[in-house]
Structure 1
């Protein structure tokens, strides 16, 4: 499923059902993304993806093949990748991302590096970011972002929108709609997802209107 991030919220936009378990391959990802790129051709789109298993959403969209394909399509992207991947700067040896010394409260931005040892896939930028302790809490993992947006700030600020995607996927699953518990077959699953998409999109639009009106604190009083 692909979702559209709007006003830091995420709404379901397009999906495909696969007749298998496990992650999708690059061809299936291209088939999923291409119609959405055509739909949004009048806008500047940035594809966000994640390859980490602790992520609710987009956890399979972090491959260098996908990044190379998006570059060829002249589409901007920010893909979170695992720290066990190799990179190579010009005139230097390959090094693991985990060996770059990223610590809580630190960051870096590397331009035009080779990502992984696969040949012929071009060069990309790598943004590394590990947020420092905030409100007494410390993030347990850093971000390693494969990107072509051009700046560290835009890479980090844009990828933070992923939190809205995480929330949406959790709501579709254990957070409310319990989609993963549905016994529906493929014929019935598509209409079910469509209903959830309409309901979720309507809720997000209504919440945005309430926010614009400035009456959030009067909505959903849990003590009354």
Structure 2
């Protein structure tokens, strides 16, 4: 999932990865400048998830798509996701104190044992 400004168009799109290339398969034009919100993200994902429900999906998004709510929504649908986070983002496990993501021992390309549904902001 990505969003880009192309000329005067603010485009939110979902692509599939095929042979190391991203091919846009669904998009919408946002009637505003700047980042998308959760409602717009769900609106563009919904038809793609319906279309590809027979396949194992993994949604990949950059820091624009960092909301806990988006992660929880995908998790409830049993859809894998990788949403890039800023290092100073904080999280907490149930009944624990908030801590920065940098406190998790993880290197790029390594999957954390953390489960998105366990955390809140």
Stretches of structure 1 that go unaligned for 5 or more consecutive residues are 52-59, 118-224
Number of equivalent positions: 107
Q: Give the 3-state SS of the residue equivalent to 2:88 in structure 1.
A: coil
5 Å-filtered alignment, 1:56-205, equals: 60-89=64-93, 92-98=96-102, 100=103, 109-112=112-115, 114-117=118-121
Give 2:43's aligned residue: 31
1:28 Cα offset (Å) = 0.7
Residues 106 and 112 in structure 2, CA contact (< 8 A), matched pair in contact too: no
CA contact (8 A) 1:85 1:115 kept: no
The 1:9/1:88 distance shift into structure 2, 3 A limit, reads same
SS of match in other structure, 2:35:
coil
| Cα-Cα RMSD | 2.4
Native 8 Å contact 1:4 1:12 kept in 2 = yes
TM-score (norm 2): 0.74
Query: How has the CA–CA distance of structure 1 residues 43 and 85 changed in structure 2, closer, same or farther, with 3 Å as cutoff?
Result: same
> 1:9-32, CA deviations, whole angstroms, 9 ceiling, x for partnerless residues?
211111100111111111111110
Q: Max radius of gyration: which structure?
A: 1
Q: CA deviation digits over 1:40-93, x for unaligned, max 9?
A: 112111111111xxxxxxxx2221111111112221111111112112235532
Q: Runs (4+) of structure 1 moved beyond 4 Å?
A: 101-105
By percentage of residues, which structure has more helix?
1
Instruction: Say yes or no: does 1:44 pair with 2:47.
Output: no
Answering whether residue 21 of structure 2 is matched by residue 14 of structure 1, we say: no
Q: Secondary structure at the match of 2:75?
A: helix
Equivalences for residues 210-221 of structure 1 within 5 A: none
**Kept in 1: contact 2:14–2:25 (CA 8 A):** yes
TM-score relative to the length of structure 1: 0.42
Classify 1:104/1:75 alpha carbon distance in 2 versus 1 (closer, same or farther; 3 Å).
closer
Contact residue 66 and residue 83 of structure 2 kept, 8 A: yes
| Structure with greater strand share of residues | 2
